[in-house]
Amino acid sequence: MKKHFELSDDRSLSSREEVRRLQDRLLAEQIRYCRNNSPFYREKLAAFPDRDHDFDTLQDLPTTSKRDLAEHNEAFFAVPPSGIADICFTSGTTGNPCRIVYTASDLDRLAYNDACGYRASGMEAGEKVLLTCTIDRCFIAGLAYYQGVVKFGASAIRNGLNTLESHAEVIRTLRPENIVGVPSFLAKLGQYLADAGIDGSCVKRLICIGEPIRTRKMALTPLGEKLERFWPGAAHSTYASSEIVTSFTECSVRCGGHPPAELAVVEILDDEGRRVPDGEPGEVTVTPLQVTGMPLVRFRTGDVSFIIPEPCPCGRGTLRLGPVLGRKAQMLKVRGTTLFPGAFFNVLDGIPGVVEYYMEVGGTALSDEITIFVACAEGATPETLGVAEKLYGRTRIHVPVIAVDASEARRRVFGTSRKPVRFFDLRKNAL
């Protein structure tokens, strides 16, 4: 198993056939490593033939759920305590925090992963990267973004979860070419720069984390359009999770996220665990490659997306993952209509005068009850902005809209997580 990763290792620009052969070899190595070193998989795979698996036979093996990770957490550790270099936490479906452990090799792999993503986006060595995300509080992604900048040969500006004024001053004085951050915050930053008369044209790339900025048809969402107005052609979407130790970053074409060739095998599965055709939505299921601390086989992320079947004009032979359409656990059922919260959020992002919002969902398994809480700009109300009517026009569902103070909305949205949380599940059947 690899111990050190260099940018020269990246084979993403190889042909699709070469990428598949590389992944098949690494997949066989990873599954054998799991059998030999992971107590969970030693037991889980005992009933299956001990053979080398490739992409075609991978579907013969069982999937791994977040519940598995929560209920058998330590059984996933594939190294002794002396081999663990970093520990972070993620919440499982049971509500109990799960430990995710990384070896020194895994941390180097994370840095390599993000460095490859930066290069794919068009970033160049020697440029400056403003990091608007935290690196503390066990946030592994923040550490990965930073280490990726260092490995890539760029300069990190670790301004973290700071004020708009502070980031604006960094942009004014240091003129970074790149920013890593949550899209909704970057949109506020762009507006602040415009209002303050500060030139932000130095910024050529936005590495957008934690929120989708593209629709099912790959067009920009209203939030993505806001970013485009401030920084034309700059926004690059990403997808990642703590468990899969891999991220998917849009290349310069900006039409779907690529994983580095040798770091992940991706499947899209339906509710019964069957693969769906490329282009069809389903649950993103990932087998990370070359992971030593906490390897996973066919991990069902709970996120719904799709694979873009056409070859990418950038020349990479790796797949492209579309935007996350929603989380399976957040799927809404209202009087016979099924949809994700994003259908409402995209409308709210496109209404001038809506400064913050969140959703609460109650009810039973038969039908969900949705309430939207909206904070409006001074002098405006949900009624004067026509919020309820615009939500109905897009979703064909009538929902209550309640006005809240902006400070209260920000407390709810930003008070429980490192990323904005706009969906609060109060359903009786919610896990």
The pairing of strands 235-241 and 155-158 is unpaired
Between 1 and 7, the more confident residue is 7
In one letter, which amino acid is 324?
V
Residue 259 has pLDDT above 50, yes or no: yes
Q: How confident is the model at residue 334 (pLDDT cuts 50, 70, 90)?
A: confident
Q: How confident is the model at residue 38 (pLDDT cuts 50, 70, 90)?
A: very high
3-state secondary structure of 18: helix
Instruction: Report the 10 Å Cβ neighbour count for 415.
Output: 8
Kindly state the tokens that stand for 64: 């791994």
Q: What is the mean pLDDT of residues 334-338?
A: 81
Cβ pair 341, 332 in contact under 8 A: yes
Residue 252 has pLDDT above 60, yes or no: yes
Kindly state the tokens that stand for 291: 């992971």
Residue 95 has pLDDT above 80, yes or no: no
CATH number for the 1-325 domain, one of 3.40.50.300, 3.40.50.12780, 3.40.50.2000, 3.10.20.30? 3.40.50.12780
CA separation for the pair 368, 31 (Å, rounded):
41
β-pair partners for 282: 305
Q: What is the mean pLDDT of residues 336-351?
A: 90
Average pLDDT along the chain: 93
Cβ pair 107, 142 in contact under 8 A: no
3-state secondary structure of 359: strand
pLDDT of residue 419: 76
Q: How confident is the model at residue 138 (pLDDT cuts 50, 70, 90)?
A: confident
Q: How confident is the model over 40-87, as pLDDT tens digits?
A: 999 999 999 999 999 999 999 999 999 999 999 999 999 999 999 999
In one letter, which amino acid is 336?
G
CA separation for the pair 306, 255 (Å, rounded):
12
pLDDT of residue 365: 62
> Considering the chain, what percentage of its residues have pLDDT values greater than 90?
84
By CB atoms closer than 10 A (0-12, 13-18, 19+), residue 260 is buried
Cβ pair 390, 379 in contact under 8 A: no
Nearest to 388, CA basis, from 379, 376, 378: 376
Residue 418 has pLDDT above 90, yes or no: no
Q: What is the mean pLDDT of residues 366-377?
A: 92
Q: Where are the domains of the chain?
A: 1-325, 331-425
CA separation for the pair 216, 119 (Å, rounded):
25
224 CB-near residues (< 8 Å, 6+ apart): 183, 213, 214, 235
Kindly state the tokens that stand for 263: 């770091």
Q: How far is CA 154 from the centre of its chain?
A: 23
Residue 309 has pLDDT above 90, yes or no: yes
Q: How many residues does the chain have?
A: 431
Residue 429 has pLDDT above 60, yes or no: no
Instruction: Give Rg (Cα) of the chain.
Output: 22
Kindly state the tokens that stand for 60: 């013969």
Q: How confident is the model at residue 369 (pLDDT cuts 50, 70, 90)?
A: very high
Q: How confident is the model at residue 431 (pLDDT cuts 50, 70, 90)?
A: very low
pLDDT of residue 135: 85
Q: How confident is the model over 159-197, as pLDDT tens digits?
A: 998 999 999 999 999 999 999 999 999 999 999 999 999
3-state secondary structure of 280: coil
Cβ pair 19, 261 in contact under 8 A: yes
CA separation for the pair 24, 30 (Å, rounded):
10
pLDDT of residue 92: 47
> Considering the chain, what percentage of its residues have pLDDT values greater than 70?
96
Nearest to 203, CA basis, from 220, 184, 187, 219: 187
Kindly state the tokens that stand for 1: 């198993």
pLDDT of residue 4: 87
Architecture of domain 331-425 in this structure: 2-Layer Sandwich (3.30)
CA separation for the pair 211, 184 (Å, rounded):
8
Residue 430 has pLDDT above 70, yes or no: no
The pairing of strands 205-208 and 178-181 is parallel
Q: How confident is the model over 229-251, as pLDDT tens digits?
A: 999 999 999 999 889 999 999 99
CA separation for the pair 240, 301 (Å, rounded):
10
